[in-house]
Amino acid sequence: MLGILRYFKESYEELKNHVSWPGFNEGLELTVLVGVFSIIFSLVIWALDSVFSKIIKEYFNLLS
Total count of domains within the chain: 1
Which domain range does residue 31 map to?
23-64
Q: Is residue 50 part of a domain?
A: yes
Report if residue 32 sits inside a domain.
yes
Contacts of 22 (CB under 8 A, 6+ apart): 30
46 lies in some domain? yes
Let me know if residue 64 belongs to a domain. yes
Q: Note whether residue 15 is domain-resident.
A: no
pLDDT digit string (tens) for 8-45? 999 999 999 999 989 999 999 999 999 999 999 999 99
Query: Does residue 60 belong to any structural domain of this protein?
Result: yes
Whether residue 16 lies inside any domain: the answer is no
Q: How confident is the model at residue 62 (pLDDT cuts 50, 70, 90)?
A: very high
Note if the pTM is more than 0.85.
no
